[in-house]
Structure 1
Amino acid sequence: MLYVLLFIPLLPALYALRARETRWLAGSAAAGAVLSLGLSLLAQNQAAGPLRLDGVGLFYLLLTDLLFALVALYAGAYFQASQDREAWRFYAAGNLFLFAMHGAYLAHNLGLLWIFVEGSTLASALLVYHRGGARALEATWKYLMLGSVGIALGLIGVILVYALLGGATLDWQMARELVRAANPAQLKLAFAFLLVGFGTKVGLFPLQAWLPDAHSEAPSPASALLSGTLLNVAFYALLRYAALLGSAGLFGFAAGFLQSFGLASLLAAGLFLFAQKDYKRLLAYSSMEHMGLAIYALGLGIPWLAMLHTLFHSLAKTAAFLSAGNLLLAYQSKLIARVGAVYRAWPATAGLLVLSLLSLAGLPPFGLFYTEFQALFRSSPLAMGLYLLGLLGVFAGLLWPLSRMVFGEGPGMSLGGLPRIRALVVVPAALVGLALILGLFPPTGVVEHLAEVLSWKL
């Protein structure tokens, strides 16, 4: 069953190469993701060769399939409204991307995990270049170059780990046993390479240069996938390697780096947000902030809290990028200064944008408030001060553009030329609703249970 689960996304990808009807493309992609979601629940704890689906893999696989199905439905409406006749490119590349994500979460071999993470980079580059043109080419080139350099450093870390295990295995479970006899100094060096390598793909400061350009130039459904699912796969790899160091009794070393990178990303994001004139780049820097917060929570030695934070971020950020897609359809501009009075012209999108950005700002009753303050109260006094400073900076950086676009006066927009397609509002509304429900009733116990495979003695 695991191999079926791995290869399911390739069927809609092949279909997209032949079909041109956007409605059928959206339906087949969403159906494939929903089928994968159901099979994932049946395949938990199964093993087949180098593939195995444990609790952590199941958590991220379910999240990825859910978001992909919803984004696929939204994308059908988005490309129809924008009269984009090349929608098949999005669905072909998107399902290749989903295939790579499935492979990463099913791989129980650290080398195979690296291969699929690199595969997700290559497939998602096609999503960034969807529209073509000089700016898209520049963003795609920067993404590929920086992402490939980062993942190459990650490969060096994987090779070092393999050597430290005596060349015996890269199986995840066996590695956790063998790593206890590894040379501590060399294992620390390997983790440094792994953190910089996968941290580049996560978008940690100062390794995030590819992130705002890629998110800004990709079509809005692709931006939602990049931020809501792509960043998680590199974070998932770091979860595995942090647990590996924990098994070797070296998590204290890893924790210092993880907390430092996390706080630096939070503080830098707060500064970058103030300088943004493009609302899609604004959301990209918000992704840098939240992935930094997840890395910080991991550095505190609480993997379930880090996983929960990525769940809440993925839901809110996907809803925010889809709402931003509606703004782009209506205003034909990504500039904050050219968007205004959305509450009057398109109340539904205005409400969704407000709710998703308030969630990203960490306000109650959304789940990000819960995870941010769980991490805050477990921090040292110095880290707590920096943490609060970063949160205040991010809140202020998001508040002004939100109020400017939704309530400020702008050039106005006309929806008369846009098809009245319900999916443009229903899909982000479903995501905001789910984020609100999970914020009110955070699934802490479920995520703790799924994260048990990562546990180690601090």
Structure 2
Amino acid sequence: MTMLYLLLLLPLLPALHALREHEAGRLASSTAAGALLSLGLSLLAQNQAAGPLRLDGVGLFYLLLTDLLFALVALYARAYFQAGKDRESWRFYAAGNLFLFAMHGAYLAHNLGLLWIFVEGSTLASALLVYHKGGARALEATWKYLMLGSVGIALGLIGVILVYALLGGATLDWQEARALVRGADPAQLKLAFAFLLVGFGTKVGLFPLHAWLPDAHSEAPSPASALLSGTLLNVAFYALLRYAALLGSAGLFDFAAGLLQGFGLASLLAAGLFLFVQRDYKRLLAYSSMEHMGLAVYGLGLGVPWLAMLHTLFHSLAKTAAFLSAGNLLLTYQSKLIARVGAVHQVWPATAGLLVLSLLTLAGLPPFGLFYTEFQALLRSSPLLMGLYLLGLLGAFAGLLWPLSRMVFGEGHGVGLGAPPRARTLVVVPAVLVVLALVLGLFPPVGVVERLAEVLSWKL
């Protein structure tokens, strides 16, 4: 019981440390150590319960992933901010640990109302990450993120309130709700799920609710962009996992499946079109996140929660590596424009290799894990949807191929603007993520994720 509250509050210690200590090295060490300690505590706290807090298999899955990525990004950020001579890096660690606190709360909350509160808290905390460097563009991106995110999450709150009313005001405990929801009015429950999907789908970045995503990812410093894409999107998807299972318990999953598959495919197809017209490589990666979260939602709509969870795992590893590699490009070329980046294979061969591998992973090529999950979803698709699914994948692949070849092997106006930083951490951290993505792609942990996802099953 005490361990769950310790796990919840632990990220606040590095956040307070960041307000008193502004030396980047110490902050990176305390943040990474705190995240790794949380990771260990999570393994010990599995299946424990304490009031509204409980850590089941699905929460454990995302908590472990979040803490691992946060620890690695914290170490990368030290070298990144030092290379960029950013004297305000303490703001990243302060806001980042507040963000991690909100994420911990969401994954530990077994009360649907508390889950909504922590998801909203993650929006407010991550807004500070987006605004890190200040300026008009960062302010605009932060404002758009807050406004659209808050409007979306407000619609989600309406859905939560409707669910509470349909349960007779008896409880918002997720497990108890699954038993009581069988007696709820089906039409009203469908309406509640529609609100929830639009609300949390805005934070997931589903089309056409995605407008905040490219601006926020582009304007945030690269370590923050990695956290936004690799961890933030997952927390709203986690909420959708819970509510899809709730609808399944009421015997209404077919209705949820139609909406999930529709939004998922629309996001995939739209992302493919947006990828073609991007001139900013960070915005390019943001639209790739929209594509893959759409694929995860589509996989959930197929009624295979473990497959959707596995897809978010592979995406988080690859996208975090890609954004960190993009951070290396920004340090060297001093530009986010694809046209001003070229000959990376000559300027910084290690980063070129990491960029190629991470983008090929995101393109869904074997032997990386995203190929496995995309292929499994294809096999489970109806003939009608299969054509749209393949069209979306083809568009996304082509949209990533040109900028990859242009930056790594082409000639850019920005070549020679700066020498690559010498800090090995800038290469080691994304390399660790790429290796993890490769190993898990060769040996997909299907059995482990299936067992963790059993708590979501409504086919009992």
Q: TM-score, normalised by structure 2?
A: 0.99
- Which of residues 188, 191, 197 is equivalent to 2:190? 188
Q: Cα offset for 1:457?
A: 2.0
Matched to 1:432, the amino acid is V
Structure 2 stretches lacking a partner, 5+ long: none
Q: Cα offset for 1:410?
A: 1.4
Query: Are 1:149 and 2:159 matched, yes or no?
Result: no
Q: Cα offset for 1:415?
A: 8.2
State the partner residue of 1:283: 285
State the partner residue of 2:254: 252
State the partner residue of 2:384: 382
State the partner residue of 2:14: 12
Structure 1 stretches lacking a partner, 5+ long: none
Q: How does 1:159-178 map to 2 (within 5 A)?
A: 159-178=161-180
- Which of residues 324, 329, 332 is equivalent to 1:330? 332
Once the two structures are superposed, what CA deviation does each residue of 1:216-252 show, in whole Å capped at 9, x if it has no partner?
Answer: 0000000000000000000000000000000000000
- Structure 2 distance, partners of 1:438, 1:311, is 10
State the partner residue of 2:451: 449
- Which of residues 186, 198, 201 is equivalent to 1:199? 201
- Which of residues 299, 310, 313 is equivalent to 1:311? 313
Matched to 2:224, the amino acid is A
Contact 1:45 1:54 (C-alpha < 8 Å) held by counterparts: yes
- Which of residues 208, 211, 214 is equivalent to 2:210? 208
- Which of residues 114, 131, 139 is equivalent to 2:133? 131
State the partner residue of 2:27: 25
Q: How does 1:23-422 map to 2 (within 5 A)?
A: 23-414=25-416, 419-422=421-424
- Structure 1 distance, partners of 2:24, 2:247, is 47
Once the two structures are superposed, what CA deviation does each residue of 1:291-331 show, in whole Å capped at 9, x if it has no partner?
Answer: 00000000000000000000000000000000000000000
- Structure 2 distance, partners of 1:253, 1:391, is 25
- Structure 1 distance, partners of 2:18, 2:409, is 40
Secondary structure in 2 matching 1:206: coil
Tell me how large the CA RMSD over aligned residues is: 0.9
- Structure 2 distance, partners of 1:436, 1:292, is 22
Q: Cα offset for 1:409?
A: 1.0
Q: Cα offset for 1:256?
A: 0.2
- Structure 2 distance, partners of 1:413, 1:428, is 22
Contact 1:336 1:404 (C-alpha < 8 Å) held by counterparts: yes
Secondary structure in 2 matching 1:362: coil
Once the two structures are superposed, what CA deviation does each residue of 1:396-428 show, in whole Å capped at 9, x if it has no partner?
Answer: 000000000000011354486554111000000
Matched to 1:296, the amino acid is Y
- Aligned identity (percent) is 89
Contact 1:345 1:412 (C-alpha < 8 Å) held by counterparts: no
- Which of residues 425, 428, 438 is equivalent to 1:426? 428
- Structure 2 distance, partners of 1:393, 1:90, is 35
Matched to 1:384, the amino acid is M
Secondary structure in 1 matching 2:342: coil
Once the two structures are superposed, what CA deviation does each residue of 1:145-166 show, in whole Å capped at 9, x if it has no partner?
Answer: 0000000000000000000000
Once the two structures are superposed, what CA deviation does each residue of 1:174-214 show, in whole Å capped at 9, x if it has no partner?
Answer: 00000000000000000000000000000000000000000
- Structure 2 distance, partners of 1:285, 1:338, is 20
- Structure 2 distance, partners of 1:250, 1:411, is 56
Contact 1:81 1:418 (C-alpha < 8 Å) held by counterparts: no
- Structure 2 distance, partners of 1:418, 1:362, is 29
Contact 1:267 1:390 (C-alpha < 8 Å) held by counterparts: yes
- Structure 2 distance, partners of 1:391, 1:8, is 40
- Structure 2 distance, partners of 1:15, 1:378, is 49
Matched to 1:82, the amino acid is G
Contact 1:341 1:407 (C-alpha < 8 Å) held by counterparts: yes
Once the two structures are superposed, what CA deviation does each residue of 1:260-314 show, in whole Å capped at 9, x if it has no partner?
Answer: 0000000000000001000000000000000000000000000000000000000
Q: Cα offset for 1:456?
A: 1.1
